[in-house]
């Protein structure tokens, strides 16, 4: 008599609201997990960047130094520094512990939409409305970028870095992938302005959301479309999309106040998470667990696979 084979657990979805944080920093432009998922960065329209603890939902630090609303942020792999970008055309490198500005980098001609560290946090890459991606060296004291990537014909709305590859999405409707190792630029024409691009966790696919209310999963090497996810509404806002931590689902913000969650393979809508009435501005998926961050107006919500009650009870007892 053999034990029944353990049934493969159905992939869980972050459908339970665990916590709501009122950030008190105006509209939250972007919300990001740090590299290990224990902390949250929220970019506010009141020029501040805030660091929160996920488990307690408490404010840990406020980073102020931007001259206009903060649009994106990223934390380094070792949590020692944070980079953020803002409408004031600057990119700032912060020291996490002291909250001091380590470096303030000017050079973009317009507001900076997105910023990202590379894997070793030796380079910050920032994409701006001026159509350029600038690569800033965190190791040197120079204030000039290492390289200015100006291939985009329009605003660079999103960029991601994975290993030796740089993925940018631009409003000119193209997803560009720069392969540093091969020295090649691959341009995928999507036609509609790109709002957000992502690498899949396995690094084989790219995900791109565009203003034709479609999220597309493209094969990285050939550019063929592997999946198309529709149903949400994305027509005028720069909203985020992402993949779940195990690449099982595709998630995307929507202007109708929901987060749409599709099954990656089947393309069927598996969850329509009601976040609120307004536009879901930003979202971020936990790097390992089933945990989701959403930002709407001035609030950040944390969603999990299981309801929080057990935790709270444990805390109470």
Partner 1 sequence: NMASDGDGDEDFVTYGTALEPLEEDEPLKKPVPLHEQTVKDEKGRYLRFHGAFTGGFSAGYFNTVGTKEGWSPSTFVSSRQQKAEKHHARPEDFMDEEDFSEHGIAPQQITTSQEFSSGRRDEVQEKARAVSAQAALIPGDSLLEGLIAPARSSIGVELLKRMGWKEGQGVGPRVKRRARRQQPDGGGRVYGCALPHAGSEDSEDDGDEEFAPENLTFAPKDVTPVDFNPKQGVQGLGYRGLDPGMALLGRGAPDHIDLFNPGGVAGQVDVYHRDSMSRYDRVLEGEEPGDGLYGWTAPQQYTQTRGKSRDSSYIGKILEGFTLAQKPAEEKTIFPPPTLPSNYRPVHWFRPAVDVSHLSEVSPALAEALRTSRGHMIKEEPQQGGRHQLDSDQRRTLLGEDVLRGPSSVMELLRPEDRERLLNLRNASSSPSIKTSAPACHAASPASGSTASSGLQQEALAVWRGIQTSSQTFRPFEKNPSKQVRYELYLDRLKQGDKDALEQSLDPGLTEWERSRERDEFVRASILYRPSSSSLSSRFTRAKHQDDEDCVEVNRDQEGDVDDKQSAVKVKMFGKLTRETFEWHPDKLLCKRFNVPNPYPGSGVVGLPKVKRDKFSVFNFLTTTESRGRSQLTELTQCSSSSAPPKPAEPGKRSRWDVSDQKEGQQENDPLSELLSAARHQAEAKLGKSSAPTLSAERLDAQQGSCSGESHHHTSDVSTRMRGSIQKNDGDGEEEEEEEEESRPPMDLFKAIFSSDDNSFSSSEVESNDEEAMKEEELPNLFNITSSVSSSTLTPSQPTGKNRQMSILRGAISTCSPNEEEALRKRSKEKKHKNKKQHKHNKEKKVKKEKRMNDFCSSVLR
Site string for partner 1, 90-129 (x = CB under 8 A): -------------------xxx------xxx-xx-----x
User: Does 32 interact with partner 1 (rule: CB under 8 A)?
Assistant: no
Contact between 257 and partner 1 by CB under 8 A: the answer reads: no
**156 close to 127: Cβ distance less than 8 angstroms:** yes
Q: Which stretch binds partner 1 (CB under 8 A): 13-21, 50-58, 151-159, 267-275?
A: 151-159
Q: From residue 182 to residue 221, what is the string marking binding to partner 1 with x (rule CB under 8 A)?
A: xxxxxxxxxxxx-x---------------x----x-xx--
Q: Among 50-58, 73-81, 93-101, 174-182, which window interacts with partner 1 (CB under 8 A)? A: 174-182
- Span of 1-9, 178-186, 264-272, 302-310 interacting with partner 1 by CB under 8 A: 178-186
CB of residue 95 to partner 1, shortest distance in Å: 20
Q: Are 221 and 186 in contact (CB under 8 A)?
A: no
Size of the site for partner 1 (CB under 8 A): 68
In whole angstroms, give the CA distance from residue 221 to residue 233.
Answer: 29
User: Hey, which residues does 49 pair with through a beta bridge?
Assistant: 43, 63
Q: Does 293 bind partner 1 (CB under 8 A)?
A: no
What token pair was written down for 204? 């084989």
Residues in the chain, total: 317
Figure out which of the listed residues 49, 54, 167, 171 binds partner 1, where binding follows CB under 8 A. Answer: 171
24 binding partner 1? (CB under 8 A)? no
CA distances from 179 to 152, 186, 187, 203, 242 (A): 16, 8, 11, 13, 21
> Computed over its alpha carbons, how large is the radius of gyration of the chain?
19
Q: How far apart are CA 124 and CA 84, in angstroms?
A: 10
């Amino acid at each position: 008599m053999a034990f029944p084979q353990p049934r493969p657990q159905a992939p869980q979805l972050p459908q339970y609201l665990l916590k709501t944080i009122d950030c008190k920093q105006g509209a939250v432009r972007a919300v990001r997990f740090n590299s290990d998922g224990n902390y949250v960065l929220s970019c506010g329209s009141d020029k501040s960047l805030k660091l929160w603890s996920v488990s307690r939902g408490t404010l840990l630090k406020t980073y102020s130094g931007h001259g206009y609303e903060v649009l994106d942020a990223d934390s380094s792999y070792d949590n020692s520094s944070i980079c953020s970008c803002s409408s004031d055309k600057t990119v700032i490198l912060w020291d996490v512990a002291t909250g001091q500005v380590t470096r303030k980098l000017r050079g973009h001609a317009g507001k900076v939409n997105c910023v990202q560290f590379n894997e070793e946090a030796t380079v910050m890459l920032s994409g701006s409305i001026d159509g350029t991606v600038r690569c800033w060296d965190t190791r040197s004291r120079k204030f000039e970028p290492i390289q200015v990537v100006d291939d985009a014909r329009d605003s660079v709305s999103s960029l991601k870095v994975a290993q030796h590859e740089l993925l940018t999405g631009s409003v000119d409707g193209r997803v560009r992938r720069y392969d540093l190792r091969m020295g090649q630029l691959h341009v995928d024409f999507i036609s509609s302005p790109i709002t957000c691009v992502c690498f899949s966790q396995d690094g084989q696919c790219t995900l791109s959301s565009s203003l034709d209310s479609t999220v597309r999963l493209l094969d990285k090497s050939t550019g063929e479309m592997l999946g198309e996810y529709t149903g949400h509404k994305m027509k005028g806002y720069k909203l985020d999309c992402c993949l779940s931590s195990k690449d099982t689902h595709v998630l995307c913000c929507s202007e109708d106040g929901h987060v749409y969650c599709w099954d990656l393979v089947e393309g069927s809508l598996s969850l329509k998470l009601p976040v609120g009435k307004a536009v879901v501005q930003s979202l971020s998926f936990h790097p390992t667990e089933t945990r989701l961050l959403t930002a709407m107006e001035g609030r950040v919500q944390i969603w999990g696979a299981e309801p929080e009650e057990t935790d709270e009870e444990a805390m109470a007892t």
